[in-house]
Chain A
Amino acid sequence: AQKVTQAQTEISVVEKEDVTLDCVYETRDTTYYLFWYKQPPSGELVFLIRRNSFDEQNEISGRYSWNFQKSTSSFNFTITASQVVDSAVYFCALSEDNDMRFGAGTRLTVKP
């Protein structure tokens, strides 16, 4: 089965700092999909982005940006000028053969 590794268990930053959350994946398929989700304290996961394996173009959405590199099997997530509301657990996920597997998550704390 596919595997997703989020090596950073917890990260703490001060507001306005930039922060990058790492995600490394393993798969034998050539066709797969990568995702990032945010889990606020309420518990419900919120979808942030989806990328397919044939699209390595990086993406920026406001303060969020994603760097997909197949050569290193990584799909990193950067928050620019972090805010307190960004505090949450962030999950990277990989889907292949129609089932989705998640990393262990990174807990981000942004202090005022």
Chain B
Amino acid sequence: DGGITQSPKYLFRKEGQNVTLSCEQNLNHDAMYWYRQDPGQGLRLIYYSQIVNDFQKGDIAEGYSVSREKKESFPLTVTSAQKNPTAFYLCASSSTGNTEAFFGQGTRLTVV
């Protein structure tokens, strides 16, 4: 089945540790996105990529890093510099930046 897969669904990490969230799509989409969702704040854009080997910062990129070495994959690393990393993270892809996005099921990260 075509779609976008995020793993794992739940993730626990100790404070001060880096953690990488996986996002894979088999939709042949050029654009991929990472959003963070906190209660009452909707979705905030962390990073986006329009093409392989290129990505742009969103509104809240500090403390995060990404890579886009393959069209299918857009992993997000939450570094120890991110002050409040506990949140729900959503990955999305679209054929272009202006077409509808398809979302993964999300990863709920809890840092203790």
Residues of A within 8 A of B (CB): 1, 6, 9, 33, 35, 37, 42-47, 50, 52, 91, 95, 97-105
Contacts and interface: CB of A to CB of B under 8 A. Distances in A.
Contacts of B33: 99-100
Given A100-B45, A104-B41, 4 more contacts: A43-B90, A98-B96, A99-B58, A102-B43
A95 B42 CA distance: 16
Contacts of A44: 103-106
B5 to A, nearest CB: 11
Given A98-B50, A98-B97, A47 B102 contact: yes
Contacts of B105: 42-44
29 contacts: A1-B59, A33-B98, A33-B99, A35-B101, A42-B105, A43-B88, A43-B105, A44-B103, A44-B104, A44-B105, A45-B90, A45-B92, A47-B101, A50-B100, A95-B98, A98-B50, A98-B97, A99-B33, A99-B56, A99-B97, A100-B97, A101-B59, A102-B35, A102-B42, A102-B43, A102-B45, A104-B42, A105-B42, A105-B43
Given A1-B59, A100-B33, A102-B35, A45 B42 contact: no
